[in-house]
Structure 1
C-alpha cells in the first residue's frame, strides 16, 4: 500500500491543537508524520508554510513544545522532525539526537543541510539508530543520485520540481524514480505540490507522497473554527490516501 506522510507546523496554533490534529491524521490513514520546527527563514518552503512558521513563532513557540508534542505522538505514529539547520546547530545535533532517541522520534529532515555536510553526522545517527532523510531533485544527475541515496535510511524525499513547497509546478519524474530505485530499496516518497488533485499522478512509481502546504493552508483559514480545521484536514488526508491507492 502506498503511504501518506503529513507535514504540520508543530505547536501551531498551539500544542493541544497539534495533538488533536495528529490523532485525526492517524485515523485518516496517515502513515508518517513530519513535525515542522518553526523557523524565521524557511528557504525551501512557500508562502503558506512560511506564514505558519512566523505565526507559530509570534505565538511564542518554544523547542520544549516540540518535545512535548513528540512525547505523545511518536509512540503512536512514525515521527520525524523537519527543520532548518540553524536550530540543530545552535543546540547541537547531538542534543537533538539524544532527545529524539528518548522520545521515540525516528529521524531528521533538514532541507538546507547539503549531503556532504550531513556526512559527518552519519556515525551519530547510526549510534542513535536515527535517519537523516536524503533529498533528491529531478535536476540531479544519475551519478549524483547514486551518491545521495547510498545508505539512505527512513525514506528518500524526492522533490517533485525545482522550487519551493506549495506551488503547482510539474516535472516528469519517471527517469529520476527509476534511477533512485536502481540504487536503493529505501522507501521513496514524492513531496512538493502534492494535494487532492495531484497526488495520484505524483505517486506513480513511488512508494508514497508527502503533503504539507495543502494541510497547513487549512490551518491558516481564519473563517474555520479549530474543530472545523481538524475535520477538514482529516477529510483531505483520507481522500489523498484513497487516491494514491486507487
Structure 2
C-alpha cells in the first residue's frame, strides 16, 4: 500500500480549524501529516503555500499554536512539523525536540537546512527518537544521493523537479531512484506537483506521495466555508489515496 503524506498550513484560518482538518484527513486515509509552520519567507514553496503562510501570520499565528494543536493531532495521526530553519534556530532545536516529544510528533522537515548543515543537529534529534527528513533532488550528484540515502530515517523526500512547490513541472527520475535503491531500503516519497490528476503517474516507482499545494488551494478558497473546505480536502485525499494504489 502506497502512502499519502498531506501538508497543511497550521493556524489558517485558525488553530481550531487546523485540528478539525487534521483529524478529518486521518479519517480520509492520510498516513502522515505535515503541519506547516508559517514563515514570512518560505523559499521552497510556491505562491499558494506562501499566501497561506502570510495569512496565518497576519492572523496572529504563534509557535504555541503549533504546539497546542499538535497535542490534539499527533495522537491520532503520524505527524511531522514542516518549517524553515529560522524558527528552529531562533527558539533552539532543543525546544522543538522537547515540544515534539511532549506532543507525540515524530520529526521535522526543514527544506532550507541542507544535509551537510543538518549534521550538527541530527544526533540531538535522533537521540530523542525523532526523524529529520532528508531531501534528494534530481540535480544531486550520484555520490551525494548515496550519502544522503544511507543516512536517511523514516522516509526520503524526493523532490520531483528543481524549483518551488506547485509549479507542476516534471523530470526523469529513474536514474535517481535507481541510485537511492542501491543505497537504502528507506521508503521514498515523491513531493512537488502532486494533484489528483497527476498522483497515479507521480506514484510510479516510489513508495508514496506528498501533497501540499493542491490542499492549500482549497484552504485559500474564500467562496467555501470551513465545513466545505474540510469536506473538499478530505474527498481529494481519498481520491489521491485510491489513485496511487490503483
Q: Same fold (TM over 0.5)?
A: yes
CA shift for structure 1 position 127: 1.4
CA shift for structure 1 position 12: 0.8
Q: d(CA) in 2 for partners of 1:140 and 1:37?
A: 26
**Structure 1 residue aligned with 2:152:** 152
Q: Secondary structure of the residue that 1:241 maps to in structure 2?
A: helix
Instruction: Give runs of aligned pairs for residues 179-218 of structure 1, distance below 5 A.
Output: 179-218=179-218
CA shift for structure 1 position 31: 0.1
TM norm structure 1? 0.99
Q: Secondary structure of the residue that 2:80 maps to in structure 1?
A: strand
CA shift for structure 1 position 103: 1.0
**Structure 2 residue aligned with 1:53:** 53
Q: d(CA) in 2 for partners of 1:75 and 1:98?
A: 16
Superposition RMSD in Å: 0.7
**Structure 2 residue aligned with 1:224:** 224
Q: d(CA) in 1 for partners of 2:122 and 2:108?
A: 12
TM norm structure 2? 0.99
Q: Deviations over 1:128-164 (max 9, x none)?
A: 0110100000111111101112221121000000000
CA shift for structure 1 position 167: 0.7
Q: d(CA) in 2 for partners of 1:104 and 1:125?
A: 14
Instruction: Give runs of aligned pairs for residues 121-136 of structure 1, distance below 5 A.
Output: 121-136=121-136
**Structure 2 residue aligned with 1:137:** 137
Q: d(CA) in 2 for partners of 1:186 and 1:142?
A: 17
Q: d(CA) in 2 for partners of 1:71 and 1:193?
A: 30
Any stretches of 5+ residues in structure 1 without a counterpart? Answer: none
Q: d(CA) in 2 for partners of 1:20 and 1:58?
A: 21
**Structure 2 residue aligned with 1:92:** 92
